Amino acid sequence: MSHKNVDTLKSEAKVLWADLQGKELKPKDRLAIPCQDMPSQEPSVRIRNMAEVAVGYSEEQVRVEASRCLQCKSAPCVKGCPVSIDIPRFIKAAEEGRFEDSLAVIRESSLLPSICGRVCPQESQCQEHCTVGKSLKDVNRAVSIGRIERFVADYERAKGTKNIPQIAPSTGKKVAIIGSGPAGITAAADIRKAGHDVTVFEAFHKPGGVLVYGIPEFRLPKSIVEEEIHTLEEMGVDIEPNFLVGRTRKLKDLIDKDGFDAVFIGSGAGLPKFMHIEGENLVGVLSANEYLTRSNLMKAYDPEHAATPTYKSRRVAVLGGGNVAMDAARTAIRLGAEKVYIVYRRTEVEMPARVEEVGHAKEEGVEFLLLRNPKRIIGDEKGRVRAIEVLSYELGEPDESGRRRPVPIEGSESILDVDTVIVSIGNDSNPLLKQTTEGLETNKWGNIIADEDGKTSMDRVYAGGDIVLGAATVILAMGQGRKAAAAINRMLAEEV
Amino acid sequence: MNKILEKRQLSEEVFRMKIEAPLIARERKPGQFVIIQKDTNYGERIPLTIADADPDEGSITIIFQTVGKTTHEMALFEVGDSFENVLGPLGQPTHIEKVGTVVCVGGGIGVAPLHPIAQAMKAAGNHVVIIMGARNRELIIMEDEMKAIADELIVCTDDGSYGRKALVTEPLKEYCESANPAMAVAIGPPIMMKFCAETTRPYGVKTIVSLNTIMVDGTGMCGGCRVTVGGETKFVCVDGPEFDGHLVDFDNMMLRLGAFKEREQEDHHQCHLDMEIAKKKQGALR
How many CB pairs (< 8 A) connect A and B? 121
Residue B278 pLDDT level (bands cut at 50, 70, 90): low
Quick check: B217 and A312 CB within 8 A? no
Quick check: B255 and A283 CB within 8 A? yes
Q: Is the pLDDT of residue B286 over 70?
A: no
- Residue A112: closest CA among A158, A162, A160: A162
A400's CB contacts (< 8 A; 6+ apart) are none
Quick check: A308 and B44 CB within 8 A? yes
Classify residue A373 by burial, with Cβ atoms within 10 Å: 0-12, 13-18, 19+: buried
Quick check: B85 and A383 CB within 8 A? no
**Minimal C-alpha gap between A209 and chain B (Å):** 11
First to last CA, chain A: 57
**Minimal C-alpha gap between A192 and chain B (Å):** 25
pLDDT, tens digit, 9 for 90 and up, residues B131-176? 999 999 989 999 999 999 999 999 999 999 999 999 999 999 999 9
- What pTM did the predictor assign? 0.93
Q: Is-contact B108 B139, C-beta < 8 A?
A: yes
Quick check: A287 and B256 CB within 8 A? no
Optimal mutation site among B24, B219, B257, interface A, most CBs of chain A within 10 A: B219
- Chain B residues closer than 8 Å to A306 by CB: 42, 44
**Minimal C-alpha gap between A388 and chain B (Å):** 18
- Between A248, A281, A382, which is nearest B88 by CB? A248
Optimal mutation site among A248, A251, A277, interface B, most CBs of chain B within 10 A: A248
Quick check: B221 and A248 CB within 8 A? no
Chain B interface, Cβ < 8 Å to A: 23-24, 27, 37-38, 40-45, 69-70, 84-90, 216-217, 219-224, 226-228, 233, 235, 238, 249, 252, 255-256, 258-260, 262-264
Nearest residue in A to B226, CA atom: A281
- Between B24, B70, B238, which is nearest A248 by CB? B24
Strand partners, B157: B134, B165
DSSP codes joined into one string, A409-434: -TT--EEEE-SEEEE-S-EEPP-HHH
Residue B274 pLDDT level (bands cut at 50, 70, 90): low
pLDDT mean over B265-269: 65
Kindly give the confidence (pLDDT) of every residue in chain A, 496 residues in length, as a single tens digit, with 9 standing for 90 and above. Answer: 568 889 999 999 999 999 998 889 999 999 999 999 999 999 999 999 999 999 999 999 999 999 999 999 999 999 999 888 999 999 999 999 999 999 999 988 888 899 999 988 898 899 999 999 999 999 999 999 999 999 999 998 888 777 788 899 999 999 999 999 999 999 999 999 999 999 999 999 999 999 999 999 999 999 999 998 998 999 999 999 999 999 999 999 999 999 999 999 999 988 899 999 999 999 999 999 999 999 999 999 998 999 999 988 999 999 999 999 999 999 999 999 999 999 999 999 989 998 889 999 999 999 999 999 999 999 999 899 999 999 999 999 888 878 888 999 999 999 999 999 999 999 988 889 999 999 999 999 899 999 999 999 999 999 999 999 987 788 889 889 999 999 999 999 998 6
- Residue A300: closest CA among A262, A335, A261, A248: A335
Optimal mutation site among B32, B44, B221, interface A, most CBs of chain A within 10 A: B221
Quick check: B224 and A290 CB within 8 A? yes
- Between B87, B90, B224, which is nearest A286 by CB? B224
Nearest residue in B to A306, CA atom: B42
Nearest residue in B to A428, CA atom: B221
**Minimal C-alpha gap between B263 and chain A (Å):** 7
Alpha carbon of A413 to those of A372, A393, A419: distances in Å? 9, 10, 19
- Chain B residues closer than 8 Å to A430 by CB: 219-221, 238
Classify residue A17 by burial, with Cβ atoms within 10 Å: 0-12, 13-18, 19+: middle
Quick check: A272 and B259 CB within 8 A? no
B139's CB contacts (< 8 A; 6+ apart) are B11, B13, B14, B108
- Chain A residues closer than 8 Å to B263 by CB: 303, 309
Instruction: Provide the 8-state DSSP code for A207.
Output: S
Predicted local distance difference test score (pLDDT) of residue A495: 83
| H or E segment and range at residue B105 | strand B101-107
CA A447 from chain center: how many Å?
19
Quick check: A272 and B223 CB within 8 A? yes
Residue B285 pLDDT level (bands cut at 50, 70, 90): very low
Predicted local distance difference test score (pLDDT) of residue A134: 96
- Residue B122: closest CA among B147, B92, B151: B151
- Chain B residues closer than 8 Å to A251 by CB: none
Nearest residue in A to B237, CA atom: A432
Chain A interface, Cβ < 8 Å to B: 203-206, 213, 241-244, 247-249, 270-272, 274, 276, 280-284, 286-287, 289-290, 293-294, 298-299, 302-303, 305-309, 311-312, 382-384, 430-432
Q: Is-contact B61 B53, C-beta < 8 A?
A: yes
CA A360 from chain center: how many Å?
16
Optimal mutation site among A201, A274, A308, A423, interface B, most CBs of chain B within 10 A: A308
Q: Is the pLDDT of residue B281 over 60?
A: no
Measured CA to CA, the distance from residue A321 to residue A424 in angstroms comes to 8
Q: Is the peptide bond between B189 and the residue preceding it cis, with omega within 30 degrees of 0?
A: no
Optimal mutation site among B73, B76, B87, interface A, most CBs of chain A within 10 A: B87
Give Dmax (Cα) for chain A: 72
- Chain B residues closer than 8 Å to A335 by CB: none
3-class secondary structure per residue, B20-69 = ECHHHHHHCCCCCEEEEECCCCCCCEEEEEEEEEECCCCEEEEEEECCCH
Alpha carbon of A274 to those of A307, B101, B190, B253: distances in Å? 27, 40, 24, 17
- Chain A residues closer than 8 Å to B260 by CB: 309, 311
Quick check: B259 and A311 CB within 8 A? yes
Optimal mutation site among A244, A311, A433, interface B, most CBs of chain B within 10 A: A244
What is the gyration radius of the CA atoms in chain A, in angstroms? 23
**Minimal C-alpha gap between A205 and chain B (Å):** 6
ipTM for the predicted complex comes to 0.91
